[in-house]
Amino acid sequence: GKTVLVVAHGNSLRGLVKHVDGVSDEAIVDVSIPNGIPLVYSFDRFPNGALVPHRTESSVSAHVSGAFLEERGLLRAALEAEAELVRRVPGHLRQTDQPAVRALAKLELERKLIDLAADPSRLERAVERSREKKAPAVDALYMGLPAEKVVRTMPRASNCQPAAFAAADAIVILRHGRTEHNKLGLFTGWEDASLAKEGIAEAKRAGQLLRAHGFAVDAVYTSWLSRAIETAWLALQELDALWVPIIKSWRLNERMYGALTGLSKKAILGEHGEARFKQWRRGYTTRPPAASSFSPSYPGNDERYVRYLTDVRYSFRESLVRSLASGSLVLARKIPKAESLKDCMDRTIPFFTDEIYPRVVEQRKSVLVSSSENAIRGLLMHLCDIPSERIAEVEIPTGLPLVFDVKRRCLRLLDDGRYSNDPAEALARWNFGTASDLLFRPCVSDDEDDECAAELPDPVLRLAEVPAYLEDTPSPSVDDMVVGALMGAEYMGG
């Protein structure tokens, strides 16, 4: 009784049409499936359970009972118009962002423009840089470069370096790229914010780093949130591995921020004070104020969770509230209204230990986990034995691949040619909070012949030579991005 979407190739779909409609070998020659236009079938169910295609006036032909949703060419024209809008309209935002977020982002852009316009010489310099940089900083990817410009190198030969790391027993942990919510300092939680331009660039960069270090991902685990799914897609695209299985679970969702969802962190800090703010934002056992049963931020009002979140028990209280409100019996599941980090870990860690970890250890696979900050903080607390009293100190940068070697039980960063040789300075490049000493510790191993167990390793997995597609390009300044938006250019560095 479900509605399913099948996305495939022309002849694969023609084969399905032949099977569903019983099209003859001779007639199937005349059946064509245009690109990008949905062909929809509805079915009648007979008492014996058999399904028979339902024919309507909109059916394609005498042979095909399905119906196209629009006239041929309209869908493609709409997509081309949207792409042209993104290219030409200054500051255009993706329509998946909520109106309030789009408005806030526009106001932020205007504020920065006013500041920039107040200093003519600064504005002139930014405009000049904009004219010099015709192409986005991060768009010169290896896939678009001539073959002779791509430097393909093997990692440095060392048991403690990527050659051994990339083989198997590795978990790549990746926080999604930046969103407009991140940029504006809003509590996001389960709100389905999409990636900002900077986040798209970060996700692509993560895939490039994995490719440069020779990683082959066997499976991807991600949440039900678009920002994590999009990040996984973009990283896999750089690895030429979009075919790799992607397993989605709500149990890898971000921590549920309850009534704080969508609110400004600065405003909450100012209203409630630093102590309460820190407890709500980073506390291990403290939950923020709960969302109400009928709040737009409560996942119990989101169709995806109502229909498909089926692995938690029913809630008597929530069922009673919704039954009284609707005047009929409604069974509602116990979907979180607010979570502490511990609550978040109570769903993420069992999923990790039951589903992800066995795949790595028993099947010797390398997996990518693309998720959100608090889900990752909990996972690293589990993997790195971080005590609960210090977990509040841990910060996770967006779009940065963290590689956990299961065999040697240590976490490492991937070299891109920009890290200092000094371990402390290398770690200082990113904001890991004040607990980097707990995240990046010496490797340990039960194997007496393992060289990595006998040394204090570099926190960075170094490359002997940096490929051309990872060569550093200076990240654009705020001025550059403001002027770039106004001139229709996309600066995606960082």
Report, as residue numbers or ranges, the catalytic residues.
Answer: 176, 254
Among 397, 431, 399, 400, smallest CA distance to 177 is for 399
Q: Which amino acid is at 152?
A: R
Distances (CA, A) of 121 to 126, 130, 238: 9, 14, 39
Determine the distance from the C-alpha atom of residue 453 to the mean position of all C-alpha atoms in its chain, rounded to a whole number. 33
Please give the structure tokens belonging to residue 286.
Answer: 């403290």
| Distant-in-sequence, close-in-space partners of 109: CB < 8 Å, separation ≥ 6 | 91, 482, 485
Scored b (16 or more CB within 10 A) or e, 287-318 reads bbeebebeeebbbbbbeebeeebeeeeebeeb
Q: Which amino acid is at 129?
A: R
3-state SS, residue 264: strand
Please give the structure tokens belonging to residue 191.
Answer: 């709100």
Please give the structure tokens belonging to residue 142.
Answer: 């290896």
Among 308, 384, 292, 376, smallest CA distance to 341 is for 376
CB 209 within 8 A of CB 401: yes
Among 171, 177, 214, 169, smallest CA distance to 368 is for 171
Indicate the DSSP class of residue 28: G
Classify burial at 233, counting beta carbons within 10 Å of its beta carbon; exposed 0-12, middle 13-18, buried 19 or more: middle
User: CA–CA separation, 142 vs 108, rounded Å?
Assistant: 33
User: CA–CA separation, 454 vs 363, rounded Å?
Assistant: 27
Q: How many CB atoms lie within 10 A of CB 429?
A: 14
Among 85, 98, 8, smallest CA distance to 296 is for 98
Among 464, 463, 441, 438, smallest CA distance to 452 is for 441
User: CA–CA separation, 104 vs 438, rounded Å?
Assistant: 37
